[in-house]
Amino acid sequence: MAGNAPTASEYVIHHLGHFNNSGHPQENIVDWSIINIDSMFFSIALGLFTVFILWLAARKATSGVPGRFQGFVELLVEMVADQAKGIVHSAESRRFVAPLALTVFVWIFLMNAMDLVPVDLIPMIWTGVYSAAGGDPAHAYMRVVATADLSAALGLSIGVLLLCLYYNVKIKGVSGWVHELFTAPFGSHPLLYPVNFAMQIIEFLAKTVSHGMRLFGNMYAGELVFILIALLGGTATVFGFVGHVVAGTIWAIFHILIITLQAFIFMMLTLVYVGQAHESH
Amino acid sequence: MNLNATLIAQLVVFFILAWFTMKFVWPPIVKALDERANKIADGLAAADKAKADLALAEKKVVEELRKARESAGDVRASAEKQASQLVDEARAEAARIIAAAREAAEAEAGVAAQRAKEALRDQVANLAVAGAEKILRREINAQVHGELLANLKQELQ
């Protein structure tokens, strides 16, 4: 940002632009031909890191005295296993749902935690790499928080939706589930079928959208606040510097709570929704 | 705030990661946790059992000590009894021996006295006869009075 300093608005917009396969930020609201390379990179890298760390602990897991690392992973496993046991009342489903919940928790926590990396650090490195490779630095877009990408967050929540549909069919059978779709929540009467069905569809939609949007909204807002705080420091005044340090510190500390909480909420809701798919109305 | 193919890719990644965790992470950790829980439960049970055993053993020790003390007392009492019995027996034996010895001595003394008496009687008779002979030699015919003297001698015996 040395040459021609961008305006605050340009800075923010640049920070919120994804590095995608089209080379410039997406213009349409929905465009299935575009994929965000930065979100995919960070989510896959952190996903692999997640399973690697968990696998490391699993590989050395013994019933003997655990080390600190193993103890920590076991603590996570116990926590998720306990929650899953209380919410999903099917031991067979838990065999998949509990590991899934663990993955989701750790993975989302790590993706959220990218928010705590200084907001300009990775984009600046990327700008250097991009321009060194012959690109226009103004087009070097990079966003590091994958969960602050609506597509990624909704991708996760739609995954949970698919899981719910799968378990609905698996537990209740196709006919049982279809029966439930038309008779719950108001009761079995031909006149009530359309209302019931509409309510069910709305329920699924609302669950999924709120599930993904909650995560996305929290992370997006958090990232935006970090960008604004960075802008404060960017004024290069004493006030700006002190403000940046104070506000940045406070917000980062507060954000530790938010990233953990959002990961936990996402995990819990995943379990709750899957658990609901097991219960007939 | 746009929707794009990232959604589908993320969804696929999501399930792959979950599958990996289900396959390679969850089972060994849960197994280890269960095993450790069992181990701890066993350990606690063993500790409880050991504690009970210890209490039992202590009780046994006290009991054995009490028994040993009792039997030691018995042994001492019987030993004392035996000792006194031995002393009594020895005393009785000694008394018996002394009595026997005295009896034997008395008998021997009696025999000796008898023998002495007899010898004495013989001598007295002889002396008397000799005395009488000396007196009568002159006045009495030995042949005449021989019968008389033999009678006297017989009588003295």
Q: What are the residues facing A30 on neighbouring strands?
A: B3
Contact check, Cβ <8 Å, A99/B2:
no
Q: Is residue A222 part of a domain?
A: yes
Q: Is residue A140 part of a domain?
A: yes
Q: Is residue B141 part of a domain?
A: yes
B30 touches chain A (CB under 8 A): yes
Give the lowest-confidence range in A188-192, B4-8, B44-48, B146-150. Answer: B146-150
CB B29 within 8 A of CB A62: no
Task: Give chain A's mean pLDDT.
Answer: 89
Overall average pLDDT of the A106-111 stretch: 95
Q: Is residue A1 part of a domain?
A: no
Q: How far apart are CA B130 and CA B145, in angstroms?
A: 14
CB A137 within 8 A of CB A17: no
pTM value is 0.76
Predicted confidence at residue A2, as pLDDT, reads: 44
Residue-number span of the structural domain to which A147 is assigned: 8-278
Domains of chain B: total:
1
Which residue is closest to A156 within chain B, CA to CA?
B11
Which residue is closest to B39 within chain A, CA to CA?
A63
Which residue is closest to A50 within chain B, CA to CA?
B17
Residues 6+ apart with CB under 8 A from B103: none
Q: What is the pLDDT of residues B63-113, one digit of tens each?
A: 999 999 999 999 999 999 999 999 999 999 999 999 999 999 999 888 988
- How big, in percent rounded to 5, are the helix, strand and coil portions of chain A? 75, 0, 20
Chain A residues closer than 8 Å to B8 by CB? 155
Q: Is residue A146 part of a domain?
A: yes
Contact check, Cβ <8 Å, B18/A100:
yes
Contact check, Cβ <8 Å, A32/B15:
no
Predicted confidence at residue A65, as pLDDT, reads: 85
Contact check, Cβ <8 Å, A158/B11:
yes
CB A153 within 8 A of CB A264: no
Q: Catalytic site residues of A? A: 210, 214, 218
Indicate whether A1 pLDDT > 60. Answer: no
Nearest to B32 among A55, A62, A150 (CB): A62
Q: Is residue A131 part of a domain?
A: yes
Q: Is residue B126 part of a domain?
A: yes
Nearest to B35 among A32, A63, A95 (CB): A63
Q: How far apart are CA A160 and CA A50, in angstroms?
A: 19
Which residue is closest to A162 within chain B, CA to CA?
B11
Give the lowest-confidence range in A45-49, A169-173, A237-241. Answer: A237-241
User: Dihedral sign, CA of A75, A265, B14, A24?
Assistant: negative
Give the lowest-confidence range in A12-21, A92-101, A150-159, B48-57. Answer: A12-21
Domains of chain A: total:
1
Nearest to B5 among A34, A59, A77 (CB): A34
**B72: helix, strand or coil:** helix
CB A274 within 8 A of CB A207: no
Q: Is residue B1 part of a domain?
A: no
Å between B46 CA and nearest CA of chain A: 17
Contact check, Cβ <8 Å, A103/B13:
no
Using alpha carbons only, what angle is made at residue B12 by residues A34 and A280, rounded to the nearest 5 degrees? 120
Q: What Å distances lie between residue B33 and A75, A86, B71, CA to CA?
A: 10, 18, 56
Contact check, Cβ <8 Å, B11/A162:
yes
Overall average pLDDT of the A80-93 stretch: 92
